[in-house]
């Protein structure tokens, strides 16, 4: 099986970032649970702005996914996954797109009908 190099690069980079993020989540959860962390972040203005920044960005990525998938339902499911799992879900989506794409630009642009 000859996998094009662009797919391998995207899969390796996404996998590496997924691993780094997973380690960071584990490291933070050893100190306190996620709900305690959210409570502490919301007590700070910068924490509130960080949440706003994340959810605005997640919404933009979700709209892009809706366009890519040509399905509101799948786009909403992916967007909700990103809201809950953060960029772990984004990296999984990027890896999935890379796997099914025939060339690099097809990862980021909708397929022609």
Domain boundaries of the chain, sorted by first residue: 5-106
Q: Tell me the C-alpha distance between 105 and 109, whole Å.
A: 6
Q: Is the pTM of this model over 0.85?
A: yes
Encode the chain (113 residues) as per-residue pLDDT tens digits. 567 888 999 999 999 999 999 999 999 999 988 899 899 999 999 999 999 999 999 999 999 999 998 888 998 999 999 999 999 999 999 999 999 988 888 899 886 66
SS3 letters across the chain: CCCCHHHHHHHHHHHHHHHHHHHHHHHHHHHCCHHHHHHHHHCCHHHHHHHHHHHHHHHHHHHHHHHHHCCHHHHHHHHHHHHHHCHHHHHHHHHHHHHHCCCHHHHHCCCCC
Q: Tell me the C-alpha distance between 94 and 88, whole Å.
A: 10
């Amino acid at each position: 099986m000859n996998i094009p190099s662009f797919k391998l690069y995207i899969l390796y980079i996404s996998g590496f970032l997924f691993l780094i993020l997973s380690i960071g989540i584990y490291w933070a959860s050893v100190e306190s649970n996620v709900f305690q962390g959210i409570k502490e972040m919301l007590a700070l203005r910068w924490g509130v702005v960080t949440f706003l920044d994340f959810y605005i960005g997640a919404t933009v990525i979700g709209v892009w996914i809706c366009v890519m998938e040509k399905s509101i339902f799948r786009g909403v499911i992916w967007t909700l996954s990103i809201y809950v799992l953060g960029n772990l879900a984004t990296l999984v989506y990027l890896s999935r797109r890379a796997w099914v794409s025939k060339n690099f630009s097809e990862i980021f642009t909708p397929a022609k009908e």
